[in-house]
Amino acid sequence: MGLTIPKTMKALVLRSPSDFGIEIVPVPAVGAMEVLCRVRAVAICGTDPEVIHGRLKGIWPPAYPFIPGHEWSGEVVAVGPGVTTFAIGDRVAGEAWKGCGYCRSCVEGDYNFCENYGKTETGMRHYGFMNQGAYAEYNTYSVKAIHKISERISFNEGSLVDTAGVAAHGAELIGITPGGTVAVIGPGPIGLMAMRVAKIKGAARVIAIGRKGRLESAKRLAADDVVDFEHEDVVAAVRRLTNGRGVDEVFEASAGEGTLKQAIMMVRPGGRIALLGVPSEKAEERVPFKYICRNEIKIFGVKANPNVSETVVSWMESGRLVVKDLITHTFPLDDIHAALETFETRKDGAVKVVINP
């Protein structure tokens, strides 16, 4: 028996920078190779406030009004022409990126570098950034941007597949030394995910670098050792904790000023660094060029989460990757202002804040 789909829905509509609220808008029509999903959970990402407050105006969104949101899970309620791999009732988690599918980058699997970015007529999609997103009761998605989840994963947990995917992609790029030591600079949501992913990939020890409440969260949730950058020299502390050798890998997840140089100086010769944090357009940093060369230090930029969602889902399904305890607050869609305030001010130790439309 088919589901009754309403003609209208509630959605967070961004009218202009910082001017947003819940409105009644049409439920989007499903197209070829698309599914219509009822959004059951959408997690607030650090880029969402940037989009909402207009700090990325001119880049994201492309125009107003706009519905943001890209870390989500839900269920399929309708399928479009050509869809054979998904059915009504399927529980799914989404990812933000869907490339055109035919440019050189997409053909090589690097759809996060789609050469037709922004050209929606090619089929390229970037949900919540260039295309309407998940802060709504319903949205349409390409079958290439969703992944099935079982009932072992709650919808709230499923909304963190995207977050974990960024850490997983970074780990794939740099590799994790079995039995080695990893440092994570910035114990926010992605940093915490990076700590857990590093352990799944074989790291024996994780050192978290941060301050205040989030460093306490890291100590409680994922890290073996912690370094408070407000009270000690970060590089000296990490070197001390590794008997002078340095760590095998570093995840930089804060995009803070000076942290790239810190990562370079705390990693061992031949070590690897993944840059998970998203710095501002104007951010530049002086680095020890000769030191990098002489020690063969490898630095990887990390963009989004291509080709890792199925792996992340399998980790969650098996219980190897636990994310439930990272969800500190939940709100209904009508309370979006309170939810954003909680996330942005880290109220009551907020880590991941999830909206339930």
pLDDT tens, position by position, 28-74: 999 999 999 999 999 999 999 999 999 998 899 999 999 999 999 99
Identify whether 3 is part of a domain. no
**Is 154 found in the same domain as 186?**
no
| Residues 188 and 331 occupy one common structural domain | no
Residue 110 sits in the same domain as residue 193 = no
Q: Say whether both 227 and 113 belong to one domain.
A: no
- Structural domain contains residue 200: yes
What is the model's pLDDT at position 112?
A: 97
**Residues 13 and 154 grouped into a single domain:** yes
Whether 143 and 30 map to the same domain: the answer is: yes
Give pLDDT < 70 ranges for the chain.
1-2
Same domain assignment for residues 203 and 128: no
What pLDDT is attached to residue 281? 83
The domain total for the chain is 2
DSSP designation for 349: G
Q: With a threshold of 0.85, does the pTM exceed it? A: yes
- Indicate whether 317 belongs to any domain: no
- Same domain assignment for residues 15 and 151: yes
Domain residue limits at 204: 165-301
Q: Which two tokens stand for residue 338?
A: 């309170």
The pLDDT of residue 2 is: 55
Structure tokens at 248: 């095998």
- Which tokens belong to 309? 């969602």
Query: Are 164 and 73 a contacting pair, CB within 8 Å?
Result: no
Residue 68: closest CA among 121, 1, 17, 143: 17
Is residue 1 a part of any domain in this protein? no
132 and 233 housed in the same domain: no
* Amino acid symbol at 249: E
pLDDT of residue 1: 42
E strand or H helix that includes residue 264? helix 259-266
22 and 71 in a single domain? The answer is: yes
Rounded-to-10 torsion of CA 132, 158, 174, 249:
120
* The residue to which tokens 């080695």 are assigned: 180
SS3 of 328-341: EEEEEHHHHHHHHH
Cis, bond preceding 178 (omega within 30 deg of 0): no
In b/e form, how buried is each residue of 184-205, taking b as 16+ CB within 10 angstroms?
bbbbbbbbbbbbbbbbbbebeb
What CATH number corresponds to the domain at position 232? Answer: 3.40.50.720
Domain harbouring 103, CATH code = 3.90.180.10
Residue type, 73: S
189 and 250 share one domain: yes
